[in-house]
Structure 1
């Protein structure tokens, strides 16, 4: 776990290198097998995909440099409980790198999702767009902007992001589901209304129960229209990091 870090780093100044596979300790590996078997009984469609584990990070000369390993979803399931450290004080967590994207539309809207009440994490809460970075194949580097762009395309069918206008705006550690989360501001050339209309064709459109769009000012206003809505941890963090980024850039 680490302290929250707010920054404004262009996505082309992010470097992520992958070195090897993360291995669970023997005791935790047994837990992983048992937990995964139990999860498959509840959800036979669960997929044990490869995830990118953030092993270390630093900011150097205005660049965000991430060192990573390859891990798996089942390893994350075995290590994501908040009390994992109490039970296994000498074992490391899987720590997959989550990504939350603020998708800013051409007309200064923000795409907001509402989690399904049956979702595994944060049921019913306001969320944005996101997922977990993947290690890729055949390369020792990962383009984290392309990873978040993949999630955005899958969830809302937006593929016209302006890379030069996109920034990493913060890094924090989720204390409930126990993994690092990278927050990014991405900018689409499409209006909010057209994104909501086109999102019906997204491959993973059912990831969220509702897809909404709010003016940027309403998202930033803690006492505004969203004040009483339940919010995910990542939504609150993204709003805070976004506000700091916009203040630093003189945009608000």
Structure 2
């Protein structure tokens, strides 16, 4: 784990370098196999996708550098519980890199999603848009803007994110589901109303039970109209980093 870091870094000043594959400690690998077999029995459609593992990060001279490797969803499932290091003192977590995208509309609203009540993580909580970064088939640089833009297109069908105006605004470690999360502010050229209408046809529209849009001032106001709604850890962190970015 690491301390939260707030910053304002243009996405083209992020260097994410992929090298090799991450391997679990032998004892944990056996747990992974057993757990995944049980999961596949209960959910035959479960897919053990390849994820991007963040091994280290460095912030220097207005540039964010990430060193990464390949891991898997099943490895993450086996290592994501908070007591993992208590039970496995010599092992390392899978630590897939999560991406939270704050989509800012042309009319200064922010797209908010409400997670399904059947979601594996944070059911019913307010969220933005995001998922886990994917590694490339070969080693080298990974464009994290493209990874976040992919998630946005899949979840809300937005394809007009302005790269030149997009910023990484913070990096934090989720203490409940145990993985690093990069937070990005990503402006769209579309209005909130147009996004909400078009999002009904998004490929992964069922990722959220509801799509909402709020003025950015309401998002930043901790005592505003969202005060009584349950919120995910990433929503709370994103709001904090957004406030730090804008002051």
TM range (shorter): over 0.9
Determine the structure 2 residue equivalent to 1:124. Answer: 124
Shift of 1:136: 1.4
Residue 66 (structure 1) aligns with? 66
Count of residues in Structure 1 that have an aligned counterpart in Structure 2: 247
State the TM-score, normalized to the length of structure 2.
Answer: 0.99
For the pair 1:198 / 2:198, whether they are aligned, the reply is yes
Q: Is the 8 A contact 2:20 2:139 kept in 1?
A: no
- 1:139 Cα deviation after fit: 4.3
Contact kept, 8 Å, 2:50 with 2:70, in 1: the verdict is: yes
Q: Which residue of 1 aligns with 2:159?
A: 159
Q: 1:139-218 residue pairs with structure 2 within 5 A? A: 139-218=139-218
Q: What TM-score results when the alignment is normalised by the length of structure 1?
A: 0.97
Specify the SS of the correspondent of 2:35.
helix
RMSD: 0.6
* Structure 2 counterpart of 1:95: 95
- Following superposition, the deviation at residue 138 of structure 1 comes to 3.0
In the alignment, what sits opposite 1:239?
Answer: 239
Take 1:138 and 1:57, find their aligned partners in 2: how far apart are those partners?
A: 20
In 2: Cα distance, 1:139 partner to 1:198 partner: 35
Unaligned runs of 5+ residues in structure 2 are none
Unmatched segments (≥5 aa) in structure 1: 248-252
Cα distance in 1 for residues equivalent to 2:138 and 2:93: 25
Aligned to 1:35: 35
Q: Distance in 2 between matches of 1:111 and 1:39?
A: 33
Give the drift of 1:43: 1.6
Give the CA deviation at 1:100: 0.3
Off by >6 Å, runs of 4+ in structure 1:
none
Contact kept, 8 Å, 2:19 with 2:139, in 1: the verdict is no
Which residue number in structure 2 is paired with residue 250 of structure 1? none
Q: 1:139 and 1:69 mapped to 2: Cα distance?
A: 8
Q: Which moved more, 1:36-45 or 1:14-23?
A: 36-45
